[in-house]
Every structure is written in structure tokens, then in C-alpha cells.
Chain A
Amino acid sequence: MTGTQPTRLIVCADTKPLLPRHIKLRHDAGRGIWVLLAPERVFTPDPIAVEVLKLCDGQRTVSDIASQLANEFQAPEETIRADVIAMLQDLADKGVVKS
């Protein structure tokens, strides 16, 4: 036990999001969809969320992820960044994303 009080992760542009060891992003061949496996939960991320989650490696910042996706999908970076932050905050609150 660490003795330090855990705190809520507030996702911002500088956050380096990652999926902890016990969260698993997998392609489910039988159903033809991506699934995110968590304790007693299965999430079904949409295609954009899958692209974001694949980049959550604990190295890239949210800004890095947004600019990469903005390039790939030729979309405005500002909008993408806001969407990524909102999505990752939701997943952080569900215990799925850490930093």
C-alpha cells in the first residue's frame, strides 16, 4: 500500500494517457469489432476512439495524439483535441485510462 491519497486524473493537452496492464484493447474477430476489456466490463469503442486508444502509450501527450489524428483524418486539430480530451476524461472516470 502506497500511503498516498489517490487523485482523479484531469485530462489536459499535456497528459500522457496510457492503458494500464489490466485494460485490454483487442480486435474481436468473431464479432468484427474492437473491444476494450476492463474488470467485469466490456466497452465497445467506436472507430475514432479505437484510433485514439491505440496511441495511448504513456509517451505521447494528448496534443501529440490530436495532431497525429488531425493529420491522418485532415480535420481541425483544435476540434480533435477537444474531442480527445472529453473522451479520455470519460474513460479516466471509468477507471480505464491512466497517465
Chain B
Amino acid sequence: MSEMSTSSHAVTVDAELVCARAPVGLLAELTHRCPLQCPYCSNPLQMERVNTELSSEEWQRVMREAGALGILQVHLSGGEPTVRPDLEDIVRAAVDAGLYTNLITAGVLLTKERLKGLADIGLDHVQLSIQDVDAENADRIAAYKGGSAKKHEVAGWVKEFGLALTLNAPLHRQNIHSLPRIIDYAVEIGAGRLEIAHIQYYAWALKNRAALMPTEEDFMATARIANEAKERLKGILVFDFVVPDYYAKYPKPCMGGWGRGVMNVTPSGRVLPCHAAESLPGLTFDNVKEKGLREIWLEGEAFNLYRGTEWMKEPCKSCARKEIDFGGCRCQALALTGDAKNTDPACSLSPHHADWAKVARQESHKPPPQFIYRRMGAK
């Protein structure tokens, strides 16, 4: 039996599923609005405003088209998806379309009644993020007072209503020492899965890199802690460990390969092969208001541009791993090397890798600068 991840940082990819040429996952960013201001948010710096968001009817149509296209799982994300008062209608449309539904939430806006309602409609899984187990530090990182206590309450409701619970803990230099307690906490609240996600340095996180980058020694310690816990908690807690690119040997297969397994729809309906793809200049993105998902997936210019391996340059072109990691992330290659077709500098075979790892090491050893919080209009 083989398995694959259906969200953004795919670790394993199933050839049988993929060669059917339909995506398996849809990341639906219902809104960019969020009451939290985490300085590592994966949303673009230029966030889409509420008056550009797709209507409820449009999102429901997207869910139906996703089901018809062969998508298996939808990740309802944001921003904070629960700011949409029509979330229930969107979840219902997704359930009716046969999609496995995953709510990716900070939890702070949920009420018990609302979560019960979503469970009754057929929501399958909740991925709840925490900023730290230390409440004071967590609320400081999110710039949201009382958030930590509210999340704890929400975790209890998720279990009470029989939903699957993943705890997502983004890790960086300002909470990295809490990892052992984060693992204990995941077990305590009854999570079935824990994502220990070292920050990926795009968008807001790239802006805040010096405030977030851990030292290599601290990173290595987290890998050891996670490995030990994974063995100890076998059958109790499923672990996903996301490595920070700057200290990696090989890049991640971004989105499981460009245009290969995952589609991302932004709040205004733009369809992206990757949630950071808008940072690539000269790319035009189709919108679900104008075209169907199927046409966009199969024929969209943006999806075809870096699909497969034809576009590659050296060292990717002749690399034995080219169909394992697909050259890593195009957006990161552009942001850090100036050319989206270059090997992702996360790769040790990239000529830029050494310089880049040096930057990480230097930044991680200096005192952290103040956070630039994620806000509309923040610079």
C-alpha cells in the first residue's frame, strides 16, 4: 500500500494516483482575513480584500467541480476560514461532492455550537494551529490576547464531536525550545496527528526571517526530539516533520511537483499551482469565475509552465532525483536566485546553497529583530 500527502508539503507521492492526471488535493483559501497576525503567515504580502472574495455560490460551484475533476480532499483554509459566515454552506457542498473535508483553523473565532453544526454537516478533520504551549509567548507571536486558552477549549470540542484532530505547531527560534512540551500537549488533547512544521521562508516569513530562523544546532535537536517521540508514540500520534529548507540537503517536492497533485484557489478565485505562485512575475492565472477547474488544471498556462521535467536546467536536468523532488520550489528559486528555473537553493547541489545556508547561520546567531506582524498594509 502506498500513501501520499494531499496538502502543500507533500512528502510521498503515489504514481498510480498521479498518472490519472487529476489532482488529489484542493487548497481553498476562503479569505485572507484573520484575527491573528502571525509573522510567518504563508499568505502573500499583498492580501486580497473582503470585497474581492468569491461568493458563497461560487465557492460551492468550485467544490462541485473539484469532486467532478477527481479531487479527493479539500483543505478549507485562509486567512481564517471561520470568518466566512457561509462556511457551513461551503462545507455542505464539499461533502455532497464526495470530498474529504479538512478545516485548517486558528480556532479562536469558533463557538461550540458552530463546530457541532460543522461536524453534523460532515466535516471530517480539523487542523488546529498553536503558536506555542507557553500561552504568553503564543499570544505574543500571534498578537492575539487569550488565543491560546481559546484554542485549548476548541481542541476539547473537536474531540467531543468525534472529529479527527491534527495539531499544527509552526516552529521557529522563538518557540523551538517548547518542542518536547508541544509533543506532550498533542497527546494530552487527544490529537491523532502532529505537524511539527519548521517555518518555510516565503511571503511574511521571508520578511521576518531573521526573527524566526533557528540555529542549525537547535534545528538538529528538534529532529532528534521528533524522531525519538515518533518511535515512543507509535500508534498514538502520527508525526509530520517539516524541515526548514535552509538546513536541508535536498529540496522538498513543492506541492508534490508543480501542477501534479494540488490546486490552490485564492479568496478572489485565482487558481494557483502553489500558494506562493503569485510571486512569480509574468505568469497569468486563470480565475474560477471565468473557467472551470478542469480546463484550468489541464490547459492553464500557469499549470503547464513548470509541469513535469522539460523546463529544467542543470543540475536538475541530469539529476537522478528530478522526479523525486522536481527541483524543489520555483518561487523560492526565483526569490533567492533570480530565476524560477534554477534549482531551489534548498538543494545542496545548487551553486547558491552554500551562500544561502551561511545567511541562515549568521541571522540565527544575531539577536532577533522585532516581528513585522501580518497586517493589511504592513510594510
Q: List A1-31 residues whose CB lies under 8 Å from chain B.
A: 1-2, 5-10, 20-22, 24, 26, 28, 30-31
Chain A residues with Cβ below 8 Å from B187 are 5-6
User: Which residues on A are within 8 Å of B, measured CB to CB?
Assistant: 1-2, 5-10, 20-22, 24, 26, 28, 30-31, 33, 35, 37-46, 49, 87, 90, 92-95
Chain B residues with Cβ below 8 Å from A22 are 124-125, 162-164
Whether B17 and A2, one on each chain, are in contact in the complex, defined by CB atoms closer than 8 angstroms, is: no
B236 within 8 A of A: yes
Whether A42 and B14, one on each chain, are in contact in the complex, defined by CB atoms closer than 8 angstroms, is: yes
CA distance A95 to B234 in the complex (A): 9
Interface residues of chain A: helix, strand, loop or mixed (majority) = loop
Whether B159 and A1, one on each chain, are in contact in the complex, defined by CB atoms closer than 8 angstroms, is: yes
Partner of B16, one of A1, A33, A49, A92: A33
- Ordered by A's residue number, 14 sampled pairs between the chains whose C-beta atoms are within 8 Å are A1-B189, A6-B236, A7-B235, A22-B164, A28-B72, A31-B20, A31-B70, A37-B124, A39-B166, A41-B4, A42-B24, A44-B17, A90-B1, A93-B234
B299 within 8 A of A: no
- Given contacts A44-B3, A44-B17, whether A39 and B72 have CB atoms under 8 Å apart is no
Whether A43 and B72, one on each chain, are in contact in the complex, defined by CB atoms closer than 8 angstroms, is: no
Whether B190 and A42, one on each chain, are in contact in the complex, defined by CB atoms closer than 8 angstroms, is: no
Q: What size tier do the contact residues of chain B reach?
A: 35 or more
B22 within 8 A of A: yes
Whether A49 and B159, one on each chain, are in contact in the complex, defined by CB atoms closer than 8 angstroms, is: no
Partner of A8, one of B3, B162, B234, B240: B234
Chain A residues with Cβ below 8 Å from B1 are 43-46, 49, 87, 90
Residue interface mask B69-103, A partner, CB < 8 A = 1: 01011010000000000000000000000101010
Whether B193 and A95, one on each chain, are in contact in the complex, defined by CB atoms closer than 8 angstroms, is: yes
Q: Which residue from chain A places its CB closest to the CB of B69 in the assembled complex?
A: A30
Q: List B19-36 residues whose CB lies under 8 Å from chain A.
A: 20, 22, 24
Whether A1 and B192, one on each chain, are in contact in the complex, defined by CB atoms closer than 8 angstroms, is: no
A66 to chain B: closest CB distance in Å? Answer: 18
Q: Which residue from chain A places its CB closest to the CB of B8 in the assembled complex?
A: A40
CA distance A9 to B4 in the complex (A): 23
Chain B residues with Cβ below 8 Å from A38 are 164
Total A-B Cβ pairs within 8 A: 102
B156 within 8 A of A: yes
CA distance A1 to B188 in the complex (A): 8
Whether B73 and A43, one on each chain, are in contact in the complex, defined by CB atoms closer than 8 angstroms, is: no
Whether A42 and B72, one on each chain, are in contact in the complex, defined by CB atoms closer than 8 angstroms, is: yes
Q: Which residue from chain B places its CB closest to the CB of A43 in the assembled complex?
A: B3
Chain A residues with Cβ below 8 Å from B2 are 43-44
CA distance A33 to B15 in the complex (A): 13
Q: List B299-331 residues whose CB lies under 8 Å from chain A.
A: none
Chain B residues with Cβ below 8 Å from A45 are 1
B127 within 8 A of A: yes
Chain A residues with Cβ below 8 Å from B193 are 39-40, 95
CA distance A80 to B250 in the complex (A): 40
Known contacts A39-B125, A41-B3; can you find 17 more A-B pairs with CB under 8 A? A9-B235, A24-B100, A26-B98, A28-B70, A31-B20, A31-B22, A37-B124, A39-B124, A39-B164, A40-B5, A40-B193, A41-B5, A42-B3, A42-B6, A42-B17, A42-B72, A93-B234
CA distance A20 to B235 in the complex (A): 14
Q: Which residue from chain A places its CB closest to the CB of B195 in the assembled complex?
A: A40
B7 within 8 A of A: yes
Chain A residues with Cβ below 8 Å from B162 are 21-22
Whether B190 and A1, one on each chain, are in contact in the complex, defined by CB atoms closer than 8 angstroms, is: yes
Chain B residues with Cβ below 8 Å from A95 are 192-193, 235, 237-238
Whether A31 and B5, one on each chain, are in contact in the complex, defined by CB atoms closer than 8 angstroms, is: no
Chain B residues with Cβ below 8 Å from A87 are 1
Chain B residues with Cβ below 8 Å from A43 are 1-3
Partner of B156, one of A1, A6, A42: A1
Whether A8 and B235, one on each chain, are in contact in the complex, defined by CB atoms closer than 8 angstroms, is: yes
Whether A7 and B236, one on each chain, are in contact in the complex, defined by CB atoms closer than 8 angstroms, is: yes
Whether A44 and B164, one on each chain, are in contact in the complex, defined by CB atoms closer than 8 angstroms, is: no
CA distance A9 to B166 in the complex (A): 19
CA distance A40 to B77 in the complex (A): 13
Whether A40 and B14, one on each chain, are in contact in the complex, defined by CB atoms closer than 8 angstroms, is: no
